Structure 1
């Protein structure tokens, strides 16, 4: 079904090279023939399961409007594929930014953390849980801009209507929260565990659960079996470590929220100069050396074999047809807001 004056995606866009694979489909660069501009497009093959998932993803992206979240530009639902057109983020991910820095310090890590926490706080206050927070989803708009970092890939995102109401297992193994692995009902707090893991990696260069065996890794995550190795963490401020401890708390009720994390001493009390003096060059080298291994640990998983396959939130009670109508309506709004009028093109 075409959503733009009965034109199909291929009539208005030309697909270019593959950028990466997202949680549910391939992401390519694309070119708008009408507006002479490059975008990214997520292409997802249609079936009953992905129909509902994609409609949710587009509706959520349309609902969110934040400088540090990747925005949706256009959407097409056709016979065989869904096409989600988004802002093009062609500067790599946060790992690329760290590796490209001439000098990497704890201040740089805090600057990145502020952006991430601000984005997550906005999502959570909007009733959205991302469920796949990881460095590879912290994307750079370009290689030239140091500040244009945005959270992307909303393939696993959900609206949370009631606390602790989600039950499906999804995410990325080395960043997933313990309550998800334990099949316990959860909510936005699972993102905060993932944020803690991201900060851990950004400060020391490796994940807290480096295991060759995935089941063993999952057992360690469920137990909260991790530590700060003194050889790698002795030069990191105690305030940074305190924040990570607060985020990576297996007790969900005691885990820090995004708002609380933004008020932590590491974020608010330490001067830029103090953190600039804490060199993380060794961390930058580790990230560069372990990059292939870190990528191996970020393959997403989604387990549909469990008894708790169905989400307990009310969004599932809506039919796909209702979701499609809402998303199609939203798509026309997206198109109007994202593209200039013909008069503006002159």
Structure 2
């Protein structure tokens, strides 16, 4: 029986969901090719639609072996039915038997971004900027839809050909929404709690078992940008406890010579994505407004709401002090009359108003110091080889380290204490 249905999401797409009795009903429409991927919960094959000769990817999940796989699959399907973005993988249709579920998805001939990085060792700053612009655009779109990915990493970013530019082979597609979640809103009651993701990319608030929001994805964006430019993540250790300690401290380094010729705009953007304080960390939408992407160099640019509020507070305090000073002068003038009525020995204060204004500015600066984290950022971009407010005590590019700390952790709500994919 074939049926098309729409999920409860307001903007959901109608995706065909066909319940079949055997795989032969799939082969009637698709020619199944080579296996192009395999995970703990299933396999991925290249397939070609017979009617159009268009290539697709078919993800095959066994429903009977592991119930956790089905929970993640249901989550992924629900989200892919909701979204439509040029840099997010497209779901074409779903087939389901009693034993298996088959997802027909967009085929990305370039493979994983992780494999491409391993091949080229590192990307140029220009290439990284193009990749990150597309990635931030996709994540900003997801966040606008109240979707938090929670497992952004190089292996969950696929490479496709740009339909508008055949020479662009770094046209990315975000995939693997098994750990993603749809929030109910922006209030505290809608903060997330599950400990999940991949440790190297995991935000400090998750590691510390605090409630967290979509800002965990922005932290992952910062890790990815850093990794694309120099070839290794900002936080690395063979020992998971040490790695978590590094992430909690937020200390890393723009080391020489890899970062010597990288622009201050790129470093500044990465610093703001890797800010420990989620209130000062950029949002995904704000990432796209940074000078690194816009090309507009504005040293006075405020990056987020908290910084703007701090600036407005300074201005309000200045106006308040100035008003107080003027009121005091008026009161003195009314009470004392003209200078001719004063005692001859009384000294008259003849300070110019400009000096009073300087007093006001000095008092404002004393009362409203800049946030410590922002100060450290300003100091850090002065030299490419110096610490950026983040220093890494252990750098290693070995595959052993990457494998040991690159494990997936499934959220607790999936009825498992801690399951490693």
TM-score, normalised via structure 1 length:
0.74
1:218 corresponds to = 244
2:254 corresponds to = 228
Q: Hey, what's the Cα distance between the residues in 1 that align with 2:228 and 2:282?
A: 19
1:170 corresponds to = 196
Q: Which has the larger radius of gyration?
A: 2
Deviates more, 1:237-246 or 1:41-50: 41-50
Change (3 A) 1:235 1:64: same
Q: Hey, what's the Cα distance between the residues in 2 that align with 1:106 and 1:136?
A: 20
Q: CA deviation at 1:100?
A: 6.9
Q: Is the 8 A contact 2:19 2:97 kept in 1?
A: no
Q: Is the 8 A contact 2:20 2:95 kept in 1?
A: no
2:143 corresponds to = 124
TM-score, normalised via structure 2 length:
0.62
The CA RMSD over aligned residues, in Å, is 3.3
1:282 corresponds to = none
Q: Hey, what's the Cα distance between the residues in 2 that align with 1:77 and 1:53?
A: 15
Match 1:18 to one of 31, 35, 41? 35
1:259 corresponds to = 285
Q: Hey, what's the Cα distance between the residues in 2 that align with 1:22 and 1:251?
A: 34
In structure 1, the gaps of 5 or more residues are: 272-288, 310-346
Q: Hey, what's the Cα distance between the residues in 1 that align with 2:177 and 2:39?
A: 9
Higher relative contact order (CA 8 A, sep 6+): 1
Q: Hey, what's the Cα distance between the residues in 1 that align with 2:40 and 2:83?
A: 19
SS of residue in 1 equivalent to 2:95: strand
Mapped pair 1:72 → 2:91: yes
Count how many residue pairs are aligned between Structure 1 and Structure 2. Answer: 294
> Which aligned segments of 4 or more residues in structure 1 are displaced greater than 6 angstroms?
99-103, 305-309
SS of residue in 1 equivalent to 2:279: helix
User: What pairs with 1:95-106 in structure 2 (closer than 5 Å)?
Assistant: 95-97=114-116, 104-106=123-125
In structure 2, the gaps of 5 or more residues are: 3-16, 298-395
SS of residue in 1 equivalent to 2:196: strand
Q: CA deviation at 1:137?
A: 1.8
Q: Is the 8 A contact 1:69 1:151 kept in 2?
A: yes
Q: Hey, what's the Cα distance between the residues in 1 that align with 2:276 and 2:180?
A: 21
SS of residue in 2 equivalent to 1:253: coil
Q: Is the 8 A contact 2:179 2:411 kept in 1?
A: no
Change (3 A) 1:23 1:254: farther
Change (3 A) 1:233 1:169: same
Change (3 A) 1:151 1:270: same
